[in-house]
A and B are shown apart, each in its own frame.
Chain A
Amino acid sequence: MTEEAHLHDSEHAGHLIEFRGVTKIYGKGNAMVEALRGIDLSIDEGEFVAVMGPSGSGKSTCMNILGCLDMPTEGTYLFRDVDVGALDRNQRALLRRHYQGFIFQGYNLLSRTSALENVELPLLYRGTGARERHRLAMEALGTVGLTGWEHHTPAELSGGQQQRVAIARAIVTGPAVLLADEPTGNLDSARSREIMDVLTALNRDEGITVVMITHEPDMAVYAKRQVHFRDGMIVVDEHNGGKA
């Protein structure tokens, strides 16, 4: 897989993530919507960023571009100094596979599939051997505190547990960044705090960069940095210690 060779070097000079004048426009003519209006944003290794803002503010679009699922209409997105805009669909898929982990609001686990098999899924695409796959998946499930639940299917797990399986799936490949789209959106506050504790621990202990969309200020305070979007622009970008 030569397409990913140039990404292997983690000794990059600049930021982990860098947006330079990123603009995203949907539709044409009167139906045209400017979702992002020239965003400049850089995120370094080891950061824990909460992305906030009302719906329609552009935070989801920003997240899609961060996750290489969408492309900026204008501007440049550098991931470890690699211009993502120059990559094709397959190369972006490989970038996601090797460097990014995704967590969704709706968990998005495969139904009727055990927690273990769900966590093994990204490793299957990486071609990891069966034994190694099993070991890594068990380890990731251990990290999120689900040892003993590996053979349960999503239907047999609580929402909080399902989200922790999803986190295990996202970190099992050892990604550089964890992209979380409202990870606590479907959970009550107690379960939400559990999830936030897991994310905080991953950020603190494993050094995984976390970028998390949330509209709950209670959750955002766990992050070391808060970025607020409004009308396609960043209006607040503040650092605080984070809630440890």
Chain B
Amino acid sequence: MLWNTILLALREIRRNVMRSFLTVLGIVIGVGAVITMVTIGGGATLQVQQQIASMGSNMLMVSPGKRLGPGQSSGNVPFKEADVEAIMREVSSIAAVAPVSSQSVQAILGNQNWATQVTGSDNNYFYITKRSVATGRQFSESELRSGAAVCVVGETVRKKLFGGQDALGEKLRLQKLSCEVIGILAEKGQSTMGQDQDDVVVIPIRTLQRRITGNQEIGLIQVSVQDGASTDKARQDISKLMRERRHLAPSDDDNFNVMDMKEIAKMLTSTTELLTALLSAVAAVSLLVGGIGIMNIMLVSVTERTREIGVRLAIGALEREVLTQFLVEAVVLSSLGGIIGIILALIASVWLGSVLRVPFVFNAPIIFVSFLFSAAVGMIFGYFPALKAARLDPIEALRHE
């Protein structure tokens, strides 16, 4: 009997293809939006995790100022070169320490002009950030010590300024500094924050201080903890050391900040997850709206088919059979909407994923749940119209015009 009822429902839907489609449009959009959001969100989370992993999970960042949030600070007391040396010397379990200072500059080559970021550091920077020099070489000891006018450029800078030409040995100008390209970084792509990590020029820290910023300050200290050592322990040790060096009283807050990449990873992941949840919730509201659309059309359908219902009752349909028929119709309708929504969502996810450069992650549970949910919407919102149909008085119904 149920199979027959489903056949009857499909027959009914086929009788009114256009209206059926418009009816389920709400469900299609709702299901499609929820699945797309969850899939893209899942992809973004995965991407964040992958990028964090590629950056190295045993990395600490020491930045000046009170902690406000990731990368934000205020009341800066900048670091000095001595701080970097002290950390390397005093804190055990540390593999490498790199001073990092950055500034936005115009990189100029002939009549080519490109706004980029110049980073002053040393060779440890390449090690800690897991970057390698693809062609050319790193800085030499003497270049670092003397603050020589040499630079290692990222792939984006190379492409923008040199195009197809050979960059090695050429000289490009950063403000008043004319420096020789000695190496090109291996490509790394976008960072978690959406920055192009290849849009960078790396020069020795001393060169940056003397020729560009004009001071001895170090903006950031990056620390790599030895494999297998506790990053928490290293973090506490650095904290203690910096408090001593800055002569902070026990009652004072830190005026610097030691961040663990693991923590940032966790935070970024939870942010993406929260965003995904919020967007999905908004999308879910459209499912509700879709349900109301179904109820609306089912009510219209009951009114329109009053005579038909009368005929069915007259030829011996039971109340529960009429109820089942309309309920099944609503459920079949909304389930079809769900299926269309799922298909559209998968197409949209793959497409959006490629546009946003987010990996496509097939999420079977959410698809299954969305399908069940769309069926449930039909069940819930179809019940009232179905009940109305089943309770019709056959005499009245047959007389209905």
A-to-B contact residues, CB < 8 Å = 64, 67, 69-70, 89-90, 93-98, 100-102, 104, 106, 108, 110-113, 117, 121-122, 124-127, 169-170
Contacts and interface: CB of A to CB of B under 8 A. Distances in A.
Contacts of B4: 124, 127
A126 B312 CA distance: 12
A102 B321 contact: no
Contacts of B314: 67, 69, 96, 102
A36 to B, nearest CB: 14
Interface string B10-46: 0100010000000000000000000000000000000
B249 interface: no
A100 B316 CA distance: 9
B15 A90 contact: no
Nearest 10 CB-CB pairings of A with B:
A97-B316, A96-B316, A112-B15, A108-B311, A122-B315, A102-B314, A69-B394, A93-B318, A69-B395, A93-B316
B204 interface: no
Interface of B: 1, 4, 8, 11, 15, 307-308, 310-321, 394-395, 398
A96 B315 contact: yes
Given A108-B307, A110-B308, A124-B4, A64 B315 contact: no
A57 to B, nearest CB: 17
Given A69-B313, A104-B398, A111-B15, 11 more contacts: A64-B395, A69-B394, A96-B314, A96-B316, A97-B315, A102-B311, A110-B311, A113-B15, A121-B312, A122-B316, A125-B315
Nearest to A60: B395
**SS class of chain A's interface: helix, strand, loop or mixed?**
helix
B146 to A, nearest CB: 90
Contacts of A121: 312, 315
A90 B315 contact: no
B310 A108 contact: yes
A67 B310 CA distance: 13
Given A108-B310, A124-B4, A94 B318 contact: yes
A178 to B, nearest CB: 12
A56 to B, nearest CB: 15
Contacts of B313: 69, 93
B15 A70 contact: no
5 contacts: A93-B316, A94-B318, A97-B317, A98-B316, A125-B318
B387 to A, nearest CB: 14
A96 B321 CA distance: 14
A122 B319 CA distance: 15
Contacts of A170: 315
Contacts of A100: 316
A169 B317 CA distance: 14
B394 A125 contact: no
Contact of B317 (A93, A98, A106, A117): A93
Nearest to A153: B15
Nearest to A124: B4
Most-contacted residue by chain A among B4, B11, B311, B314 (CB, 10 A): B314
Nearest to A61: B395
Contacts of A67: 314
Contacts of A117: 11
Contacts of A112: 15
B308 to A, nearest CB: 6
